[in-house]
A and B are shown apart, each in its own frame.
Chain A
């Protein structure tokens, strides 16, 4: 005797609330639109680029934007637009990988620390304190420098630096969720700690982690570009926005478009993620909503 559940009720009210909240925020919608088009661009790159991003044309060096080369060519005669489109792949890949690793490992460590408490909590959180004592990008620079140049090493460095904030926030959420009545109720029916941690406690920390992941995408892409600009990340001829900035730097006076467009690409992408993250935070924060109701 299974009763039909109306379609709208099948979707968790949580997701509906988020979508409703997000729709009201125009900047967030713009951010979401840009992010979606960036993702599409990265996936469809081979089909939409006008030219090969790596092939050299030494006779076509430093061309200004034209119909054939919409954003001009660089010092080796490569189409800048094509390189930017392929650069989206690199940046999003780095962003997704690093944010995925840091959000998951940081959340799990924060969950463990907050739920178990005691000596384990102390150890994890003191490590977090030590890592947070250094400015993030400087520490990543040191680690990437020690590991040597390469995109993988940059991702590793950013991951080592990035998980701490997730651990802190999740631990805080866990500490407050632990005192909730339904956690005690779950213990009363004989649930295992593992079950309580993942079924009842972790979902309480989900909203801040989603917001931080979105904002973290912007931060990661910017940091990866910065490290690549310094020559630690992507190696030529890989089209990467940061290294494009670096190689275009020498031609600032004669061909400013070489650094204008990669710079704009970084800026727009980071802004889009930040807008989306801010919008998500407003949509997910129950306190914010109460203020509107009053």
Chain B
């Protein structure tokens, strides 16, 4: 295990709405985790469970309501001007590559923009752009094009290239492959793995796709309604999920083995509103194993042994 790269403690993000009677959407409600150097830590969960918000708060693109975020021991929530310099070391790959590239800028300008912003251009823009293109397997004839003249996969590669331009040590990958078809998805994930092997950065990998996460991450956190329900090594979680939600999530993964399909756990109902989360355990209205205590007492995230954390009263 390498040194600690990112440490997040009790992160909360509430979005307020309404003028007269304020109501709060508890997008993220007390989340803690650590990422080590060269490690991929994944967040999995349904749409709207707060995965992306955790990623954005970690980079302080969204201001957290409370909590602490440390990058190599530096409290990034306490920084002001220094934060802009620190951003060189922490980057993000956006899900929506299309929207994150300015349609008025050429690929060349987009690739060297991070260097320009930090005053590191020094006339080596073209060389740098060509180096980046080669790293992400794009051809140099794209440099004069605009983003809308590229395919989705090419745009996502440009997004990845922009993220690694400044040699970051930590990258948040917010569903980097979700908008791409399967073969391009695989290329993108291979590319990210290769770059990680080459430069040794830590990834916070956000995805709703359990299979991708299994492929990419060493450790996983399963999120439900703004909270972690289970955190642990990928292998341990896939071999023996302790939380009923994780079990349901994993059983929903399509499999090629027909006999395994019968064990699917189908959850009833919808994901509840994060404005009024259920009392006690947030999962209890949909949990197949819910008991009386679940609606009253909120289970804490507890270590069941060797770093495998579970938030369930009945986890063994």
Contact = CB atoms under 8 A, between A and B. Distances in A.
Contact of B117 (A12, A181, A195): A195
Contacts of B114: 189-190
A55 interface: no
B217 to A, nearest CB: 22
Interface in A190-212: 190-192, 195, 200, 203
A185 B162 contact: yes
Nearest to B117: A191
B144 A9 contact: yes
A24 interface: no
Nearest to A190: B87
Contacts of B92: 185, 188
A184 B61 contact: yes
A2 B126 CA distance: 8
Interface residues of A, number: 23
Contacts, number: 67
A186 B88 CA distance: 12
A163 B127 CA distance: 45
A191 B165 CA distance: 14
Q: Chain A contact residues: over half helix, strand or loop, or mixed?
A: helix
B91 interface: yes
Interface string A156-198: 0000000000000000000000001110111111111001000
Contacts of A186: 102, 113, 117
Interface residues of B, number: 34
Contacts of A14: 104
A135 interface: no
A2 B141 CA distance: 10
A220 to B, nearest CB: 29
B291 interface: no
Contact of A190 (B96, B118, B130, B141): B118
A3 B59 contact: no
A189 B162 contact: yes
A188 B126 contact: no
A283 B144 CA distance: 25
B97 to A, nearest CB: 9
A2 B125 CA distance: 11
A12 B91 CA distance: 29
Contacts of A184: 61, 94, 100
B76 interface: no
B143 interface: yes
B101 A182 contact: yes
Contacts of B141: 3
Contacts of B91: 188-189
A181 B94 CA distance: 9
Interface in B79-120: 83-88, 91-92, 94, 96, 98-104, 113-114, 117-118
A140 B100 CA distance: 44
Given A2-B126, A187-B61, A188-B91, A182 B166 contact: no
A158 to B, nearest CB: 32
B150 to A, nearest CB: 14
Interface of A: 1-3, 5, 9, 12-14, 180-182, 184-192, 195, 200, 203
In the A-B complex, list the 9 residue pairs whose CB atoms are closest, starting with the nearest.
Answer: A181-B99, A190-B87, A185-B100, A5-B144, A181-B100, A182-B102, A189-B114, A190-B84, A191-B117
